Structure 1
Amino acid sequence: MTGPVWITATPPATDGELHIGHLAGPYVAADMLSRYLRADGTPVRFTTGTSDHDSSVEVRSLRVGRKPDEVAAGYREAIAADWLSSGVEFDEIVHPGASTAFVGWLRELYARMAAEGLLVPRTRLLPHCASCERWLHGAHVTGNCPHCDAPGSGGMCHECARPNDCGDLLDARCARCGGEARARRCRRLYLPLEPFRERLAEFWDDGAGMPPRLVALCRRLAEDGLPELAVSHPGEWGVPVPVEGFPEQRVDACFEAAALHLYGYAFDRRAEPGHTVHFCGFGHAFCHAVLLPVLMFTRGLKLPQDFVVNEPYVLDARDAEGEPPVWALDLLAEHGSDTLRRHVLRERPTARRTAFSHEELRRTRAELDATWNRWLSRLFAAVREECGGVVPDAEPGGAGWPTLLRRLERAAEDLREAYGPLALDPRRAVAVLDEAVRCAADFADVNAHLHDRDRGRAPTTGGDERPRALAAQLAVAAALTAWARPVMPEGADRLAAALGVTPGGPVTAAALCAPRPGSRLAPPSGPVFGF
């Protein structure tokens, strides 16, 4: 039995709310793919979690004077609200800080790997702050990456995506007090990756769809020698290490995040996925492309996988009006999920960094009103004035309809390609949808002359064509309830309710079918897409 398509998205750390960069990265794009596949009849399991035991959570707790579990719990709730408001719908969200079942499963996995000799003790240098009397790991220590010299924290460099052992950070300092960090010898558990070289190389070369930058990262790792990855650290926050001899150490958050994905799919309760697609920012690529496959190997799993990797969405630069970036929930409340989803998919930093701009977001909202909503409001008004608000009993037609139909049929094929996992391209999907709506609006303007508005009736010449032109536009609108739903589900569902059709059908040319003749339309009082 072949299992579903498994879609994963990087679990965010619960040290803060989601910002628009998170939505522009893995979450909305992964949800777009999930919605497209489900509508096409493909079984999907879409999973993520929250990185509750990330060191950044403890750092935040120390700064605000609260317990780490309180910080994690509060932001877990906020993140869940952000996902819900933005229309990102998961099948499974694993919360390590609130799941005793996951913690037990993780400890069992960890202990088994240690018993099999896959985790080994090593004594190496680890930064320590004498003033804070604290070992420094992850977000507790800042410095420069030993591989690319970029400023960052311990554990994983978000610039070059390569791991560091904290002790080899350049100019290491305590993140809490800013004092100089002194390297001291510390015995921890490590996962040597070199024994997995051949299997990883085969995985990277065969069946793993990777963007070029991720391919280059994996090649550099292999050329330099795969590292031994620290998977434990001394501390008080996190899952206790279930290995004798390490009583005051915790499981590393990166290891936990990779294991979280395996737990979220629940391999013990369902068939292995037929295909896997991982969504992540480049800074988290090591976890998805190296550590997660290794954990799969240890469990006898080898899956065909693709990777959808985004670059950073720059948030620290102010736009032309000097407005600072704001949190996702604020933007959702101001602009709505349709506008925000469409914007981040069109501006998504796929191959290069892009910068967020309030003005560009407002322009996106204006574009929806000027094209999509303007055309739909005029269409609903025409049906109300000319047909009594019911769908005309006419075959789609009108001046230029055969040409428009051919273009729309090609648009359906272009959308299937842009939405599909093999050539996923959110920007292209938005562009195709926009062009389809513009073509429909142009068709409406051309055929408006068939109606004699002065006398309130159809003229003798072309009188049979006017209802057909309206039916044609209604067919396009009905198609958008399926075609646009992966991008703007809220507006697509609102449009389906107005037309009296079922939303979320397959993205195909067959969706170009007007509602049942004689059915009464129920247009919304406000805009269909956005607000």
Structure 2
Amino acid sequence: MIISSYDAGALSAALGIGMSGIDGLGVGAAWGRVGPGGATTPDRHDETEVFVIVSGHGDVLVDGVRHPVTAGTVAGFEPFETHVLENTGDDDLVFATLYWRDAPRAALAAGRTGQRHDQRPQFVFSTPPTPNGDLHLGHLCGPYLGADAYVRFQRMNGREAWHLTGSDDFQSYVQAAARSEGGTPAETAARNSAEIAATLKLLDAEPDQFTATNADPGYRADLRAFFSRLVASGGITAREAPALFDTASGRYLYEVDVSGGCPGCSGATSGNICEECGEPNSCVDLADPVTADGSTPRTGTATRYMLPLHRHREDIEAHHQRGRVPARLRDLADRVLARAPHDIALTHPSTWGVEPAEPATQGQVIWVWPEMAYGFLHGIQALGRRLGRPWQASAPQDDWRIVHFFGYDNSFYHSVLYPVLYRLAHPGWNADIDYHVNEFYLLDGGKFSTSRRHAVWGKDVLDARSVDAVRYFLARTRPEGRRTNFTWEQFGSAVQDDLIGTWQQWLHHVGDRLEREFSGTTPDAGLWRPEHSAFLARLETRRRALTEALDRDGFSLNRAAEELHGLVTDAARFSRTETTSGSERRRGEARTTMALELAAARLLARCAAPVMPRFAGRLSGALGDQPPTTWPEFVELLPPGTKADLAGQVFFTPIGADAP
């Protein structure tokens, strides 16, 4: 017999609270105490765990959903469920925890991680582009295609998900573009914002909410209110600090106005952020800084609102325990926080942007990057008004799941700066955010660049005939975890070899045989040979792999495109090896072969829908099937007697290697 009693004197720090072990039970066990107003750090592991509440009361948050607990409550957690225990009372919350490894249970949970009982509304953001130009393929392959495919898959699985973006009108790069064009920043932003929205439409990636910040009538006032909350928190203060100025004009310099050597990686960088290593700079710490005209700036001082980022290490680390945060983002946070003390200027002297309400910043604007932290909440509020939902930017909720798609050069802002700003402005909000980051997409070995016009513009290649081919190629080659390169030759070859030479050729072959042998009508399966059941199992393996590639935790368009192509190559191989001569003696086997090939085509249509929606719809129609609105839970044969017309369909057309 083993008896263990709670002993406050035996507690030591663990998981952000006091804990002590219980030995000899055969499973992991411990006592825990959460003080009034306290909480455990977010925990997520492969063990099954049970909390037994002994005294006190509070809330347990499981994957962001809040449940009240009190003395006598038993709460069980499946493997990989993120859980936090909060004390909402005035006395200690005391609990016992038991935890153990169950390999089959963990494996089952891992297979349904993104599909568990999480039915919270999902707000999926692609980073608002800078309207200093239109969108090119480097933009489209990353945040915009990613967010669109993610939302389509979530909706096919019955979950509420919306794609939100807009135009980041108050960027300093917009002001620089306006100067070079001889117009005003407002004119430049409005013109390019409209072009951006039109290009997203051509990509079949129209967002559910598109916010043009300079044109939104309530945006400025609400942004000022958010900034005032930051000031009222005491977490940011107006103080004098070193800054760079143009020697001739005395103009304050930041971002696009200045460049030099990055203090983090020593590579060449513009002001405030390094695209190579992702680390921020304060401009005055650049090595050998130069202005846009090549002159050497002078160092002076400016009074701006400053955030001492190094004081928020615990908040950042706790936030990174809560959602999907790739290792490279966590490493970036570690590098930045190791540079303590590290202050971030949240306002800058400028004539373009939104001025705070605070008099200490007269002549300054809220820097567009911290502004964006509010902009995401504003987008949710604007979407809610249209949908009749009670979502307020001033009162974000724990049951919101936010999903961000962005390029690595924006990583610091999204995954380090914004969690701190949210904690200051809304201290009671446990922001649950997933991050999906892409690296740079190169064009003939060099970075896509709007300002340098080194780009393939979306409008140059997208139309109703090409959009699915573009989406397929970008999904196959987008830079996930590594930089990748676009060439017209590779794009044309992928369309010709994959989509026309493999996909379309196989579908035509199936259609020809269906017409010739079964008068265009889907047969019922007949005699099943071992090869038939093995192919059905292979299709099911592809279905599961595609589910994992498109779901929340394992999302990868590279893998999804590879699996779609693998599904077709499997089917084409099966067709080559199992097509019989058509003799009456083999009629039963031929029926099964045809039924399985049509089942493979049906699976292709449904699983391609998030990545290639037009192709998926046309293929479903050619199969005499319903539009692919739900994700398949298993491989299904087409109903016998269904009329299908595959032989004459042109799903893809060639793309020349000398395309514009």
TM over 0.5: yes
Question: Which of 147, 151, 158 is matched with 1:34 structurally?
Answer: 151
Question: Which of 619, 640, 644 is matched with 1:517 structurally?
Answer: 640
Matched, 1:135 2:252: yes
- Residue in structure 2 matched with residue 456 of structure 1 by the alignment: none
Aligned residue identity for 2:594? L
Aligned residue identity for 1:502? Q
The secondary structure found in structure 1 opposite 2:269 is strand
Question: Which of 212, 234, 245 is matched with 2:360 structurally?
Answer: 245
Q: Which moved more, 1:429-438 or 1:220-229?
A: 220-229
Answer yes or no: is the 8 Å Cα contact 2:441–2:479 preserved in 1: yes
Q: Structure 1: how far apart are the matches of 2:354 and 2:648?
A: 52
Cα distance 1:208–1:399, how it changes in 2: closer, same or farther (>3 A)?
closer
- Residue in structure 2 matched with residue 73 of structure 1 by the alignment: 190
- Residue in structure 2 matched with residue 314 of structure 1 by the alignment: 442
Q: Deviations over 1:125-144 (max 9, x none)?
A: 32222445532221122222
Q: Which moved more, 1:54-63 or 1:374-383?
A: 374-383
The secondary structure found in structure 1 opposite 2:351 is coil
- Residue in structure 2 matched with residue 372 of structure 1 by the alignment: 503
Q: Which moved more, 1:240-249 or 1:361-370?
A: 240-249
Q: Deviations over 1:247-306 (max 9, x none)?
A: 211110111122211222234288544543322211101111112212321212213333
Q: Deviations over 1:104-162 (max 9, x none)?
A: 21111112222332331121232222445532221122222222222221122212222
- The structure with the largest helix share of the pair is 1
Higher relative contact order (CA 8 A, sep 6+): 1
Cα distance 1:493–1:3, how it changes in 2: closer, same or farther (>3 A)?
same
Answer yes or no: is the 8 Å Cα contact 1:127–1:172 preserved in 2: no
Q: Deviations over 1:418-455 (max 9, x none)?
A: 1111122222222221111111112222343333xxxx
Answer yes or no: is the 8 Å Cα contact 1:392–1:471 preserved in 2: yes
Matched, 1:265 2:388: no
- Residue in structure 1 matched with residue 310 of structure 2 by the alignment: 194
Q: Which moved more, 1:392-401 or 1:194-203?
A: 392-401
Q: Where does structure 2 lack aligned partners over 5 or more consecutive residues?
A: 1-64, 66-118, 382-390, 448-453, 655-660
Q: Which moved more, 1:219-228 or 1:152-161?
A: 219-228
Q: Give matches, 1:99-498, under 5 Å.
A: 99-131=216-248, 134-175=251-292, 177-204=293-320, 206-225=321-340, 227-266=342-381, 267-268=391-392, 272-273=398-399, 275-297=401-423, 298-299=425-426, 300-315=428-443, 317=445, 325-333=455-463, 336-366=466-496, 367-394=498-525, 400-451=531-582, 459-498=583-622
Q: Structure 2: how far apart are the matches of 1:222 and 1:71?
A: 37
TM-score normalised over the length of structure 1: 0.90
Q: CA deviation at 1:523?
A: 4.7
- Residue in structure 1 matched with residue 212 of structure 2 by the alignment: 95
Aligned length, in residue pairs: 517
Answer yes or no: is the 8 Å Cα contact 1:277–1:306 preserved in 2: yes
Cα distance 1:274–1:257, how it changes in 2: closer, same or farther (>3 A)?
closer
Q: CA deviation at 1:332?
A: 2.1
Q: Structure 2: how far apart are the matches of 1:191 and 1:49?
A: 26
Answer yes or no: is the 8 Å Cα contact 1:125–1:167 preserved in 2: yes
RMSD between aligned alpha carbons?
2.5
Q: Structure 1: how far apart are the matches of 2:469 and 2:248?
A: 49
Answer yes or no: is the 8 Å Cα contact 1:332–1:340 preserved in 2: yes
Which is higher, the Rg of structure 1 or of structure 2? Answer: 2
The secondary structure found in structure 2 opposite 1:208 is coil
Answer yes or no: is the 8 Å Cα contact 1:194–1:227 preserved in 2: yes
Q: Deviations over 1:393-426 (max 9, x none)?
A: 5569678321110101111111111111112222
Aligned residue identity for 1:355? N
Q: Deviations over 1:328-379 (max 9, x none)?
A: 2213249722222222222122222222222111121111111111111222
- The structure with the largest strand share of the pair is 2
The secondary structure found in structure 2 opposite 1:470 is helix
Identity of aligned pairs, percent? Answer: 31
Answer yes or no: is the 8 Å Cα contact 2:508–2:647 preserved in 1: no
Q: Structure 1: how far apart are the matches of 2:342 and 2:217?
A: 31
Answer yes or no: is the 8 Å Cα contact 2:512–2:646 preserved in 1: no
Q: Structure 2: how far apart are the matches of 1:196 and 1:145?
A: 23
Q: Structure 1: how far apart are the matches of 2:596 and 2:552?
A: 31
Q: CA deviation at 1:39?
A: 0.6
Q: Deviations over 1:41-70 (max 9, x none)?
A: 122132222211111111111111111111
Answer yes or no: is the 8 Å Cα contact 1:372–1:529 preserved in 2: no
Matched, 1:62 2:212: no
